[in-house]
Amino acid sequence: MNKENLIEEKHDYQGAKMGMWMFLFTELLLFTGLFLLYSTFRSKFSQEFHTASAELNRTIGTVNTVILLTSSLTMALSINAIKEGKKYLSIMFQRLTIFLALFFLINKYFEWSAKIHHGIYPNSPELLQRGKGETIFFGLYYLLTGIHGLHVIAGIVLITIMMALTKKDRINKETFIKLENTGLYWHLVDIIWVYLFPVFYLIS
Amino acid sequence: MKERNNHIIGFKTYVIVWLCLLILTVLTVAVSGMKLGMSGSLTSVIIATLKASLILLFFMHLKYERFLITAMLLLTVMTIAVIIGLTFFDVWYRY
pLDDT 10s digits, A175-199: 999 999 999 999 999 999 999 999 9
Amino acid identity at A82: I
The helix/strand/coil state of A91 is: helix
Q: How does DSSP classify residue A172? A: -
pLDDT 10s digits, B27-53: 999 988 887 767 788 899 999 999 999
Closest Cβ opposite residue B18 in set A22, A32, A69: A69
The residue that leads in pLDDT, A19 or B40, is A19
Q: pLDDT averaged over chain B?
A: 88
- Cα–Cα distance, B71 to B77 (Å, whole number): 10
The answer to whether A190 contacts chain B (CB < 8 Å) is yes
The complex scores an ipTM of 0.90
Q: Is the pLDDT of residue B3 over 50?
A: no
The helix/strand/coil state of A169 is: coil
pTM comes to 0.92
> Residue B93 — very low, low, confident or very high, per pLDDT cuts 50/70/90?
confident
**Cβ of B48 and A6 within 8 Å?**
no
CB A121 within 8 A of CB A115: yes
The residue that leads in pLDDT, A6 or A103, is A103
- Cα–Cα distance, B63 to A76 (Å, whole number): 14
Closest Cβ opposite residue B52 in set A25, A191, A204: A191
Q: pLDDT averaged over chain A?
A: 93
The answer to whether A46 contacts chain B (CB < 8 Å) is no
Q: How does DSSP classify residue B63? A: G
- Predicted pLDDT at B2: 40
CB A141 within 8 A of CB A200: yes
Q: Which residues of A touch B80 (CB under 8 A)?
A: 28-29, 32
Mean pLDDT for A11-34 is 93
Q: Is the pLDDT of residue A57 over 80?
A: yes
pLDDT 10s digits, A68-92: 999 999 999 999 999 999 999 999 9
Closest CA to A142 of A174, A178, A111, A117: A111
**Cβ of B28 and A77 within 8 Å?**
no
pLDDT 10s digits, A156-171: 999 999 999 999 999 9
Mean pLDDT for A106-128 is 93
Closest Cβ opposite residue A13 in set B4, B11, B48: B4
Mean pLDDT for A84-106 is 97
Q: Which residues of A touch B8 (CB under 8 A)?
A: 80, 83-84
- Predicted pLDDT at B1: 40
Angle at A134 between CA A43 and CA B27, to 5 degrees: 65
To the nearest 10 degrees (0 to 180), the angle between helices A58-83 and A177-201 is 160
Closest Cβ opposite residue B14 in set A18, A62, A76: A76
In chain A, the residue whose alpha carbon lies closest to the alpha carbon of B92 is A43
CA distance B52 to chain A (A): 5
Other C-beta atoms lying within 10 Å of the C-beta of residue B70: 15
Q: Which residues of A touch B1 (CB under 8 A)?
A: 6, 10
**Cβ of B69 and A21 within 8 Å?**
yes
> Which residues, 6+ apart, have CB-to-CB distance to A56 below 8 Å?
A111, A141, A200, A201
- Predicted pLDDT at B92: 83
Q: Is the pLDDT of residue A97 over 80?
A: yes
